[in-house]
Structure 1
Amino acid sequence: MRLRKTIFVALLSLSLLSGCVWLKKEEDIVTMSPLPQVNNHFRPTTVWRHAVGKGTGAFYSHLHPACYKAHVFAADRHGSVKALDAETGKKIWSTDLAIQKGFFSCKRAARLSGGLTAAGDRVYLGSELAKVYALDARNGRRVWETRVSGEVLSTPVVSDGVVLVHTGNGMLQALHETDGTVKWSVNLDLPPLKLRGDSAPTTAFGTVIVGGNNGLVRAVLINQGQLIWQKRIAKPRGITEIARINDVKSTPLLVNGVVYALAYQGYLAALDLISGQVIWSRDIGSVTNLLGDSGRIYLVDQNDHVIAVNSQDGRSLWQQSELMHRNLTSPVLHKGYIVTGDSEGYLHWINTDDGRFVAQKKVDRSGFLSDPIVAGDKLIVQAKNGQIYAISR
């Protein structure tokens, strides 16, 4: 199968134009790896499925569900939001965030994006229209709605009484959890060209760790919004502006006082949480999120190799290369195995010890772009067409 590999970048106006223009550049034409033949060690089973609107369709969106107190919360791009029972998939409530327009009650899509976050009996989500919503997790009632500085393509993060959002125009903002008012804003800068999407923050010990553009990782105090340190983990390489893109789009991973960060076309680096000093780094690039477990870091690189490295020194432990260019999701850990989805709608289970396949299942022909999540003993995944699946072993 032939596949056009594309990179989406934002071009900021440098002269008379204002705002941003999205460009699509065709890179090389690459070949998607054929589906590997797997002898299933167990049989993954679809326990339930439920449709949430029309999903994200052809739009590049990582809109994904959230789980809290045995409920699964999911949304589509247009504005439909639902709460489902995690055991049965039965609808508990639904609400519509589409914008009412005009005398004839025409609706404009809310353009929900990023992912949902469920915490403290509330559900938080953002939109490409620069809005953040807080819903009551018990009934879907809108608690507050706040306009932020730019489109919200990453997942909101709740910590220390604030909701943290990283906006598309390079701002990190903290909103009061109670009413959504802006507590502080930090400008993370914005280069002329950037990948579409933003790093979601990671929090610990009163500190926000967030990846930015130009290969930078920053630490900010949650209470004051004060910058503690910033460290560049990747430098531009290549001649063209597109070749020099090295944004940190992955959500930083924090384990035992060490921050692990990953840059596109750049490096995987381990940083000291207190000082930001680099402990080790190695040449691996990606935009997917990291997974940490038992002294190992698992990731999917930009060529869709699934890689395990030693968290102490970055040394490679194994690499699974049979899924190249299948546009894999970020990996998650489910019942002791790594799981990742691909653009053809397959889920792949991989052994954490040696990278071998242990199971495979075709789930939805529209394919996956958003990351799977774990809800109790089930794996929850949202397809591009809006179907939500609960998978059990």
Structure 2
Amino acid sequence: MKLRRIFCVGLLSVTMLSGCSLFGGDDDAVKVSPLPQVNNQFSPNKMWSTSVGNGVGEYYSHLRPSWQDGRIYAAARNGQVKAMDADSGNQVWKTDVTEKASFFSSDKSPMLSGGVTAAGAHVYVGSENAIIYALNSADGTLAWKTLVAGEVLSHPVVNNGLVLVHTTNGVLQALSEADGSIKWTANLGMPLLSLRGESAPAIAHGAAVVGGDNGRVNAVLLEQGQLIWQQRISQPSGATEIDRLADVDSSPVIVDNVVYAQGYNGSFTAMDLRSGQIIWKRDMGSVSDFFIDSGRVFLVDQDDKVVALSLNGGTILWTQNDLLHRQLTAPVLFNGYVVVGDSEGYLHWMDSATGQFVAQNKVDSDGFLSSPIVAGDRLVIQARGGSVYSYNR
């Protein structure tokens, strides 16, 4: 289980805590798989590396880079945001969104935690202080900032002039892309206890579909924020509060009017986009994002098994069990390979057809939490300490 590193217990609710730090300890101890021995069929080629502040350190923050128009955008928890040339890694601009405090006190850290999202003329990033920042992508200057309903852990999603933000208190808000004004607010419900993390919405046919901490997937009309349907895919059960955690923190994926979503302690589920009715489901829980390609679903479950499922009925095509409890990132597809990072700073490359390892490389001793991104013909990943790396095949 990944529970020890993602679950922060408070007196009333996990969601009342901000910036839960990661601690050692023997609670919920699990046996971590040793590093697999891999005969590399190729050597991943590092093109460049650079640094963005101090990264996220030991905090549970999924800040990850974003790519648009030949640039990589990345951020650090302490407020630095940087634009880099995707080919060379050279800095295009750098800014700091830290608010200047009074003469007699230190600057207030923005505690950036949600994003980065590059879309159109802006780069968006959210914070544990419940602020969304929009920077001009051309030069990094501040376009606007808006106080939202709660802290932001997932990346903002931009569609049709709206910036959608899912906050940790179970609220989905739509902001104007132009000036940050709040257009509507939808309350999706919130349990007393939840995992630290939030689903980012998927958009299709005028609806935003997003997972909730109460085990439900929600569909909301983009135009006015009206709830269309809710479907439970993770049912609380068990003897303890931890056993009954049912968050849907992974971001749904929509293909051919079918919504695919996954819950912690729940199921990977396919639902009809129009009605929310369940088409099929398979018992397989996770909090990590997944991807779909060529009729297959690729995911990392909550025990760090890497799994490929058939999109038609959820048949298991292959399972890679040699990375159990190595605290994997969400997977991505790059040049036909499934790639994940782990907490020790390795990248693991698997054949997407069989799940067999084809390459492995040590990248950064600080380790990874956020998933790699694909930027054209490059794979880009940001380590906990703030270093950003670009690889190609």
- Equivalent position of 2:58 in the other structure: 58
Shift of 1:183: 0.3
CA RMSD of aligned residues (A): 1.8
- Equivalent position of 2:44 in the other structure: 44
Asked if 2 retains the 8 angstrom alpha-carbon contact of 1:10 and 1:196, the reply is no
Shift of 1:28: 2.3
- Equivalent position of 2:131 in the other structure: 131
- Equivalent position of 1:252 in the other structure: 252
Mapped to 2, the partners of 1:105 and 1:302 lie a distance apart of 43
1:317 to 2:317 alignment:
yes
Matches within 5 A, 1:133-152: 133-152=133-152
Matches within 5 A, 1:2-17: 5-9=4-8, 11=10, 13=12
- Equivalent position of 2:364 in the other structure: 364
Mapped to 2, the partners of 1:114 and 1:260 lie a distance apart of 22
Q: Which has the larger strand fraction? A: 1
Shift of 1:214: 2.0
Q: What residue identity is the alignment partner of 2:86?
A: A
Shift of 1:106: 2.9
1:330 to 2:330 alignment:
yes
Secondary structure of 1:319's aligned partner: strand
Matches within 5 A, 1:139-288: 139-288=139-288
Gaps of 5+ in 2: none
Mapped to 2, the partners of 1:179 and 1:214 lie a distance apart of 32
Shift of 1:215: 1.1
Shift of 1:30: 0.8
Shift of 1:27: 4.3
1:100-129 Cα offsets, whole Å, 9 max, x none, are 111157322110002211111210110000
Mapped to 1, the partners of 2:364 and 2:26 lie a distance apart of 27
Shift of 1:334: 0.5
Q: What residue identity is the alignment partner of 1:109?
A: S
- Equivalent position of 2:76 in the other structure: 76
Q: What residue identity is the alignment partner of 1:70?
A: G
1:168-218 Cα offsets, whole Å, 9 max, x none, are 111000001110000000001111100001001111111100000121001
Mapped to 2, the partners of 1:306 and 1:19 lie a distance apart of 32
1:97 to 2:101 alignment:
no
Shift of 1:294: 0.4
Q: What residue identity is the alignment partner of 1:54?
A: N
1:109-156 Cα offsets, whole Å, 9 max, x none, are 110002211111210110000000111000001000000010000000
Runs of 4+ in 1 over 6 A off after TM superposition: 21-26
Mapped to 1, the partners of 2:98 and 2:370 lie a distance apart of 21
Gaps of 5+ in 1: none
Q: What residue identity is the alignment partner of 1:182?
A: I
Asked if 1 retains the 8 angstrom alpha-carbon contact of 2:5 and 2:60, the reply is no
Mapped to 1, the partners of 2:183 and 2:143 lie a distance apart of 18
Secondary structure of 1:63's aligned partner: coil
Asked if 2 retains the 8 angstrom alpha-carbon contact of 1:7 and 1:27, the reply is no
Number of residue equivalences: 388
1:108 to 2:105 alignment:
no
| TM-score, length-scaled by structure 2 | 0.95
Among the aligned pairs, what percent are the same residue? 53
Asked if 2 retains the 8 angstrom alpha-carbon contact of 1:6 and 1:26, the reply is no
Q: What residue identity is the alignment partner of 1:275?
A: S
Mapped to 1, the partners of 2:382 and 2:234 lie a distance apart of 32
Shift of 1:4: 9.2
Q: What residue identity is the alignment partner of 1:306?
A: V
Asked if 2 retains the 8 angstrom alpha-carbon contact of 1:11 and 1:192, the reply is no
Secondary structure of 1:134's aligned partner: strand
Q: What residue identity is the alignment partner of 1:136?
A: N
Asked if 2 retains the 8 angstrom alpha-carbon contact of 1:98 and 1:107, the reply is yes
Asked if 1 retains the 8 angstrom alpha-carbon contact of 2:6 and 2:60, the reply is no
1:117 to 2:117 alignment:
yes
Shift of 1:6: 4.0
Mapped to 1, the partners of 2:215 and 2:233 lie a distance apart of 5
Asked if 2 retains the 8 angstrom alpha-carbon contact of 1:6 and 1:27, the reply is no
Change (3 A) 1:11 1:106: closer
| TM-score, length-scaled by structure 1 | 0.95
Q: What residue identity is the alignment partner of 2:41?
A: H
Mapped to 1, the partners of 2:83 and 2:16 lie a distance apart of 35
Shift of 1:52: 0.4
